[in-house]
């Protein structure tokens, strides 16, 4: 048994959820085609998506990624009328106290500048940051949208554990995983968790918000983990969710082709089996 597997097995306070299979991880290079599709269909998505109301949006990249990874998403949202902001902290190297403080200050600056609540979008680990920010400053946050973010389940149900150690400089054995019990608590703002059952990095079960008012889970069918910020169906979905009126948030209801691309009850079907 490997070091990570031994550590994972010792964390009995969490459900035993396996990391994505090697086959799923090997399929992640499909992200190249999702990126090409996003570029090719950018104008079409922009034409189909609802216009924004101009409110500010903060976008946080995933582990190991920088603001370049969210550039296409931010460009679309800017062209739809939103005021987007990158996180502007370089490459995401993991949960650090100074990073949390810097993000909190950035959120407050954006809120004060626009005198409006800020929507926060986070990809993968960036979504965990987004949720925690919303807990620290709920009065400044309009809604949170996470893309393949591991905020529940088992904290080591991922194929990216070694990458996290390398980028963060932390040793997993030295981490206080009981903090993860607090991470899974829903922020006091509307939350949308987008996940894919073909995610090759994060076990999709770790991205499922417990059914409760103001929270939803949307299955982005067929997507990779890394492509959730620029595949055409992901771009449209984020734009649609951001267009919800403030103080009048409603759960997503796919129609027509959307019923093929998106699943709002797929996580419940899996739990029933």
pLDDT one-digit tens code per residue, 172-211: 888 888 888 899 999 999 999 999 999 999 999 999 999 8
Q: Measured in whole angstroms, how far is the alpha carbon of residue 192 from the centre of its chain?
A: 9
Distance in angstroms (rounded) separating the CA atoms of residues 192 and 172: 28
Residues spanned by the domain of 61 = 3-272
Residue ranges of the alpha helices (H) in 187-251?
232-242
Q: Looking at residue 8, what is its pLDDT? A: 85
User: For position 188, what pLDDT does the model report?
Assistant: 97
pLDDT, tens digit (0-9, with 9 covering 90-100), for 31-50: 999 999 999 999 999 999 99
Res 1 pLDDT > 60: no
Helix (H, G, I), strand (E, B) or coil at 102: helix
Please write the tens of the pLDDT for every residue from 211-268.
Answer: 889 999 999 999 999 999 999 999 999 999 999 998 899 999 999 989 999 999 999 8
Q: Tell me the CATH number at 184.
A: 3.40.50.1820
Query: Distance (Å, rounded) from C-alpha 7 to C-alpha 273?
Result: 28
Question: In the chain, what is the straight-line distance between the N-terminal and C-terminal CA atoms, in Å?
Answer: 29
118 pLDDT more than 90: yes
Sequence-ordered alpha helix ranges (H) in 116-249: 125-136, 161-168, 179-183, 232-242
Reduced to 3 states (helix: H, G, I; strand: E, B; else coil), residue 115 is coil
Structurally, the chain folds into a number of domains equal to: 1
């Amino acid at each position: 048994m490997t070091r990570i597997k031994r550590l994972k097995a010792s964390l009995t306070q969490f459900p035993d959820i396996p990391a994505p299979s090697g086959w799923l991880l090997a399929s992640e290079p499909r992200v190249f085609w999702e990126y090409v599709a996003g570029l090719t269909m950018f104008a079409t998505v922009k034409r189909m998506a609802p216009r924004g109301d101009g409110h500010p949006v903060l976008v946080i990249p995933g582990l190991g990624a920088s603001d370049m990874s969210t550039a296409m998403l931010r460009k679309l949202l800017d062209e739809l009328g939103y005021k987007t902001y990158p996180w502007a902290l370089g490459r995401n190297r993991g949960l650090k106290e100074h990073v949390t403080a810097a993000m909190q200050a950035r959120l407050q600056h954006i809120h004060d500048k626009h005198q409006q609540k800020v929507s926060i979008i986070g990809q993968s680990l960036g979504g965990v940051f987004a949720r925690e920010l919303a807990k620290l400053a709920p009065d400044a946050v309009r809604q949170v949208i996470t893309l393949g973010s591991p905020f529940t389940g088992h904290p080591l149900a991922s194929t990216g554990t070694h990458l996290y150690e390398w980028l963060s400089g932390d040793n997993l054995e030295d981490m206080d995983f009981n903090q993860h019990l607090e991470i899974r608590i829903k922020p006091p703002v509307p939350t949308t968790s987008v996940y894919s059952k073909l995610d090759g990095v994060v076990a999709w079960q770790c991205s499922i918000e417990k059914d409760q008012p103001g929270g939803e889970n949307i299955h982005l069918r067929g997507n990779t983990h890394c492509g959730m910020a620029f595949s055409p169906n992901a771009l449209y979905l984020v734009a649609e969710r951001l267009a919800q009126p403030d103080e009048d948030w409603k759960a997503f209801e796919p129609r027509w082709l959307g019923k093929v691309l998106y699943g709002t009850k797929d996580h419940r079907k899996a739990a029933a089996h």
